[in-house]
């Protein structure tokens, strides 16, 4: 994921000019300009991008889906509401296990999971069972990995919950390729409890919106998610 993190740092430096020179009355237009600037800096093989803007001091967010066709980025859907970690966005490279924050950065989207045998998606999808877990114990050699129980890890998250939060889930590939113990684990897009109920660090949306994203994402288009509050003076 280092390539995406380095790209994101470059994007943020480039965006500072837009934020400092802007005014509140032109916020929506400026956000569109900044989003387009970010998208133009992505690798050329990326044709789908989900951009997540924080819209409050902490957990509420707005999500826009972009797709590149004929070398031009276009908005795919109307903006969607979302909630983030209870303590908002962590600055780039600062996310820690259990801090209640959503990691900033640019991350790949490759895998999905859920309770049903099959769903409409072009991601790698797997139905979860009572044995499917995601390890969040930093001392475990299986840290931030999707495995099947049993395990000797001291703590983990069950992917088949008693509620419907993970009925449909999409893995945000944060800290998964080069795993750093303690830097955070189990970061997903999933169904929210409500539009005023923050997560422990994931990005959560209404069920219909999660299903919409599942149906839209395609591995062949190399989708990414861009997590960072680009509307405020403090950029991540």
Tell me how far apart the alpha carbons of residues 204 and 225 are, in angstroms, rounded to a whole number. Answer: 13
Contacts of 80 (CB under 8 A, 6+ apart): 62, 63, 64, 65, 205, 206, 209, 212
pLDDT at 4: 52
pLDDT at 236: 31
pLDDT at 37: 87
Which residue in 202, 135, 206 sits closest to 174, CA to CA?
202
Vertex 124, ends 132 and 174: CA angle to 5°? 70
One pLDDT digit (tens) per residue for the chain, 236 residues: 444 544 545 444 444 434 433 444 445 666 778 898 889 989 999 999 999 999 876 799 999 999 999 999 999 999 999 999 999 999 999 999 999 999 999 999 999 999 999 999 999 999 999 999 999 999 999 999 999 999 999 999 999 999 999 999 999 999 999 999 999 999 999 999 999 999 999 999 999 999 999 999 999 999 999 998 543 433 33
Q: Give me 56's structure tokens.
A: 């409050």
pLDDT at 6: 47
Which residue in 104, 78, 76 sits closest to 90, CA to CA?
104
pLDDT at 58: 72
Phi and psi torsions of 207, nearest 5°? -55, -45
For residue 192, is the peptide bond before it cis, meaning its omega torsion is within 30 degrees of 0? no
Phi and psi torsions of 79, nearest 5°? -60, 145
- Residue 84 DSSP code: -
pLDDT at 34: 83
pLDDT at 175: 98
């Amino acid at each position: 994921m280092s390539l995406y993190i380095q790209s994101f740092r470059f994007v943020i430096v480039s965006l500072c000019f837009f934020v400092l020179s802007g005014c509140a009355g032109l916020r929506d237009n400026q956000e569109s300009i900044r989003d387009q600037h970010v998208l133009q800096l992505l690798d050329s093989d990326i044709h789908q991008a989900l951009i997540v803007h924080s819209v409050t001091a902490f957990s509420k967010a707005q999500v826009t889906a972009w797709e590149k066709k004929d070398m031009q980025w276009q908005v795919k859907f109307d903006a969607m509401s979302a909630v983030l970690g209870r303590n908002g966005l962590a600055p780039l490279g600062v996310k820690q296990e259990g801090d209640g924050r959503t990691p900033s950065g640019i991350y790949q989207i490759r895998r999905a999971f859920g309770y049903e045998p099959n769903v409409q998606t072009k991601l790698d999808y797997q139905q979860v069972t009572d044995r499917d877990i995601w390890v969040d114990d930093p001392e475990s050699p299986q840290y931030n990995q999707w495995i099947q129980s049993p395990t000797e890890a001291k703590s983990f998250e069950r992917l088949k919950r008693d509620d419907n939060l993970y009925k449909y889930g999409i893995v945000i590939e944060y800290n998964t390729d080069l795993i750093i113990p303690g830097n955070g684990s189990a970061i997903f897009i999933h169904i929210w409890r409500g539009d005023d109920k923050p997560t422990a660090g994931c990005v959560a949306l209404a069920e219909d919106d999660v299903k919409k994203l599942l149906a839209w994402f395609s591995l062949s288009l190399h989708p990414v998610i861009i997590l960072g509050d680009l509307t405020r003076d403090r950029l991540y």
